[in-house]
A and B are shown apart, each in its own frame.
Chain A
């Protein structure tokens, strides 16, 4: 692609275009809305990590260490709700999708700018609702899955929590439809579908999953609320209802939701790897089709969460088979990334480091996923720490690492400042080491039979649990270094106006940080031509 250095523009950057809190809270600029999301999501992420570390501390030794069972149940629910609904699902699409997607297609903004802001308010509203259960009626102790019959009988405030998730889902739908419309209607003339940047593709595919799958959990949660308030009986065996049907409906959304989490992450990796290998991405078409393939096949495998639930053996067979199919497009991607690196001129900057961690951790987690997806072995490891380990490998190791890759990749673009590369590298490596020390023992513990979601365990599992807890401390140190480095750089980092990475996508062709109109020079040209 033809690269021109950004012309010095007279327009102020979006950060300087207006001042005061109103200019932020009432903004319609997609870049500022991305910043609003980033701020909120970072706070929730830190809260979620803190809870996670506290849970690990409880599990450091058998018996009661720092908290009792009820607190532990409430905390793993809160940890799940925060990390899933407030961090990973909106994380990459709402922050980087918002910031980067319009820039990557050469648009001035998203198609519905006001709706975009509305979506952020919905998100905040849902978040406040979810956290208000801390003070009103007691934190739910159901786990983030809200399984019946417990969720319809527990005394804790499940009603408020599910309502919160409903609102968060609505926010997610609105964001999704906004992105789809944006990609369809606001692409720069001449920018064809098969020229779209891979990150844009991944956010587009994700948006479809958001629009079509999220409503299903919306209605499922409404049914839970109706059950709690009116006792309509749809999931109550005493009235002929089927609790397993609840699990179906829940996973109908929540399995595609893990692709809402991982697809944009894969998009980030598909941007970062070519940029830092100084090569074109290997097999662009294959990556695009595998993205769509994951979105489609990923929506058909939900019941592999339910192999021990008592559903029919036919369903177990069918869903186990379909589950293995998802491995194909995922493997296609990993192959393409590695092939892109091959004979590339590698620049091991922090974004690439995180992307490589992603490939390693995601592939490792994916292999564990095959163990879980096989109907036979699943019975052995179902509901054990193995699942917890697997989930964190693919979600934190996958989506989480990609979030950090994206943050370190687009940080200069977003803030017009550079962070300290050495600190970022140190933080990344410490995070990586802590991560493996934290989650690998969980997989071993699971194979040995330690169940998940208990605050206690038999002394036999003591040593590996202690190791895992130490891992959580190392991981926390890595995170502190990374976050401190970024916050410090936002305030005092070296100012830059140029693209530090020699990226090839459109967002790098405008000023750094971009002006409010994104591409003011082009807008002027269009106007003078008209």
Chain B
């Protein structure tokens, strides 16, 4: 976090970041609670609505995010090995993946809007209750997730700048570690969103 470079205890800084990640998990957890309740109540509607999501785009995005996570984890190792250029390249790759992810997300949302499948649309309102709720949740959770993608990408971009200015080195890299941790959280949540929304049967 912001004060990470002020004090010298890297493990403590990571602990602070993990605690923040726990609260993020509970934030998304609230939405998964809602999901669990409505899935239990409208299983058939959820399956029907889930089929309308493009599972190939979803799978592609899963691969993109998994790859971005790999690159972020490699970037930390690279910095530890004092390979700064490699680290810069890897983080840039992560950022590229983030951009690709958001573009695909944009296409997906655009397609749903084109079909009138967005909250309060008359087309959606005529559907069974479970489907309305499914799409409400879908937009809420993917929207919130996209915000987190942006936040994670911002942190990684800052890390990129800090490497360039020599503030992140093989002796002092906790800021990058924490940014990567945050990025992995984005991945972690997507790992659950993907099967629960795109593959629900």
- A residues apposed to B, CB below 8 Å: 111-115, 118, 173-174, 176-178, 180-181, 184-186, 211-216, 218-220, 222-223, 226, 230-234, 239-242, 245, 248-249, 252
Q: Does B133 reach chain A (CB closer than 8 Å)?
A: yes
On chain A, the residues within 8 Å of B199 by CB distance are none
Decide: A181 near B16, CB < 8 A? Known: A114-B2, A233-B132: yes
Out of B3, B15, B26, B42, name the residue touching A185 (CB < 8 Å). Answer: B15
Docked CA distance A138–B1 (Å): 37
Nearest B residue to A211 via CB reads: B23
Verify B129–A219 contact, CB threshold 8 A: no
- The 5 closest A-B CB pairs, nearest first, are A240-B129, A219-B30, A232-B136, A185-B12, A215-B27
Task: Write the B48-63 contact mask toward A (1 if CB under 8 angstroms, else 0).
Answer: 0000000000000000
On chain B, the residues within 8 Å of A213 by CB distance are 26
Nearest A residue to B7 via CB reads: A111
Out of B11, B120, B144, name the residue touching A231 (CB < 8 Å). Answer: B120
- Residues facing A in B119-152 (CB within 8 A) are 119-120, 125, 128-130, 132-133, 136-137, 139-140, 144
Nearest B residue to A207 via CB reads: B19
Out of A181, A186, A232, name the residue touching B140 (CB < 8 Å). Answer: A232
On chain B, the residues within 8 Å of A216 by CB distance are 26-27, 29-30, 33
Out of A115, A212, A215, A241, name the residue touching B1 (CB < 8 Å). Answer: A115
Out of A173, A212, A241, A252, name the residue touching B133 (CB < 8 Å). Answer: A241
Question: Which of B1, B20, B37, B136: most chain A CB closer than 10 A?
Answer: B136
Q: Does B108 reach chain A (CB closer than 8 Å)?
A: no
Decide: A239 near B132, CB < 8 A? Known: A211-B19, A218-B27, A223-B140: yes
Decide: A181 near B12, CB < 8 A? Known: A114-B3, A234-B140, A245-B34: yes
Docked CA distance A181–B20 (Å): 11
Docked CA distance A245–B27 (Å): 16
Verify A240–B120 contact, CB threshold 8 A: no
On chain A, the residues within 8 Å of B128 by CB distance are 240
Docked CA distance A226–B125 (Å): 16
**How many residues on chain B are close to A (CB under 8 Å)?**
42
On chain B, the residues within 8 Å of A230 by CB distance are 119-120, 139
* B-side interface mostly: helix
Verify A239–B34 contact, CB threshold 8 A: no
Docked CA distance A111–B3 (Å): 9
Nearest B residue to A220 via CB reads: B30
Nearest A residue to B125 via CB reads: A239
Question: Which of B11, B23, B33: most chain A CB closer than 10 A?
Answer: B23
On chain B, the residues within 8 Å of A115 by CB distance are 1-3, 16
On chain B, the residues within 8 Å of A181 by CB distance are 12, 15-16, 19
Verify A215–B24 contact, CB threshold 8 A: yes
Verify B12–A249 contact, CB threshold 8 A: no
Nearest A residue to B141 via CB reads: A219
Nearest A residue to B27 via CB reads: A215
Least Cβ–Cβ distance between B181 and chain A, in angstroms: 13
Task: Write the B160-199 contact mask toward A (1 if CB under 8 angstroms, else 0).
Answer: 0000000000000000000000000000000000000000
On chain B, the residues within 8 Å of A248 by CB distance are 33
Verify B2–A118 contact, CB threshold 8 A: yes
Nearest B residue to A212 via CB reads: B26
Nearest B residue to A186 via CB reads: B12
Verify B119–A211 contact, CB threshold 8 A: no
Out of A113, A177, A180, A223, name the residue touching B6 (CB < 8 Å). Answer: A113
Q: Does B106 reach chain A (CB closer than 8 Å)?
A: no
Docked CA distance A230–B120 (Å): 7
Docked CA distance A115–B130 (Å): 42
Q: Does B9 reach chain A (CB closer than 8 Å)?
A: yes
Nearest B residue to A184 via CB reads: B15
Verify A234–B23 contact, CB threshold 8 A: no
Nearest B residue to A216 via CB reads: B30
Verify B31–A177 contact, CB threshold 8 A: no
On chain B, the residues within 8 Å of A211 by CB distance are 19, 22-23, 26
Verify B2–A240 contact, CB threshold 8 A: no
On chain A, the residues within 8 Å of B6 by CB distance are 112-114
Decide: A232 near B1, CB < 8 A? Known: A184-B15, A214-B23: no
Verify A234–B34 contact, CB threshold 8 A: yes
Verify A111–B22 contact, CB threshold 8 A: no
Cross-chain pairs A/B with CB under 8 angstroms, 5 sampled:
A115-B2, A215-B26, A226-B140, A233-B119, A242-B41
Verify A215–B119 contact, CB threshold 8 A: no
On chain A, the residues within 8 Å of B120 by CB distance are 230-232
Verify B23–A113 contact, CB threshold 8 A: no
Least Cβ–Cβ distance between B131 and chain A, in angstroms: 9
Docked CA distance A234–B38 (Å): 9
Verify A234–B137 contact, CB threshold 8 A: yes
On chain A, the residues within 8 Å of B133 by CB distance are 233-234, 239-241
Verify B20–A177 contact, CB threshold 8 A: yes
On chain A, the residues within 8 Å of B15 by CB distance are 180-181, 184-185
Nearest A residue to B131 via CB reads: A240
Verify A240–B132 contact, CB threshold 8 A: yes
Verify A231–B119 contact, CB threshold 8 A: yes
Docked CA distance A184–B26 (Å): 22
Verify B19–A234 contact, CB threshold 8 A: no
Out of B37, B132, B139, B140, name the residue touching A245 (CB < 8 Å). Answer: B37
Docked CA distance A215–B27 (Å): 5
Verify B42–A240 contact, CB threshold 8 A: yes
Docked CA distance A218–B24 (Å): 10
16 further A-B contacts with Cβ under 8 Å, apart from A177-B16, A242-B38, are A111-B12, A112-B4, A113-B6, A118-B2, A174-B20, A211-B26, A219-B27, A219-B144, A230-B119, A232-B120, A232-B137, A233-B119, A234-B140, A239-B125, A240-B129, A241-B136
Docked CA distance A103–B27 (Å): 32
Docked CA distance A211–B132 (Å): 32
Least Cβ–Cβ distance between A125 and chain B, in angstroms: 16
Nearest A residue to B143 via CB reads: A226
Verify B30–A249 contact, CB threshold 8 A: yes
On chain A, the residues within 8 Å of B2 by CB distance are 112, 114-115, 118
On chain B, the residues within 8 Å of A245 by CB distance are 34, 37
On chain B, the residues within 8 Å of A180 by CB distance are 15, 19
Docked CA distance A181–B22 (Å): 13
Verify A173–B37 contact, CB threshold 8 A: no
Verify B34–A112 contact, CB threshold 8 A: no
